Amino acid sequence: MKNNNLQKFGQKLKELRINKGLTLRKMCKKVGYDPSNWSKIERGRIPPPSNEKILNKWAEALGLINSIEIKKFISDAQIAQGLIPSDIMKEEDITEYLPAFFRSIKKEKMTKKDIEELIKLIRKS
């Protein structure tokens, strides 16, 4: 089964690189990354690295300058890895309700308490 998020991230990574006018080899030289692995990421064959410092370096080299673009880039990379983005995991209010959220999207029965707590969280946002 293909990971759609992996494919999407790879396509976006390639698009950003090309828009910046960088060949694959020039990009890899700029960020100190193996061209073969970069190519595999762009083709959705392997996930991007999970290290936020590396992803920040990539974002800057790709011309992402504002913090919102950089956070989205890192978040998309983490989603492509099958992870919950670190910015979400830092929010205690949110992480407390993730089990109920995942049960609901898997169409499992939620308790009345789960529903009430999710409503509180949504209203607070």
Q: What pTM did the predictor assign? A: 0.71
7-16 pLDDT, tens digit per residue, is: 999 999 999 9
- Token pair for 60: 């800057």
Average pLDDT across the chain, whole number:
85
Residue 2 clears pLDDT 70, i.e. is over it: no
Q: How confident is the model at residue 1 (pLDDT cuts 50, 70, 90)?
A: very low
Residue 60 clears pLDDT 60, i.e. is over it: yes
Section 82-109 average pLDDT: 68
**Which CATH number does the domain 4-83 belong to among 3.40.50.300, 1.10.260.40, 3.20.20.70, 3.30.70.580?**
1.10.260.40
CATH 1.10.260.40 domain locations along the chain? 4-83
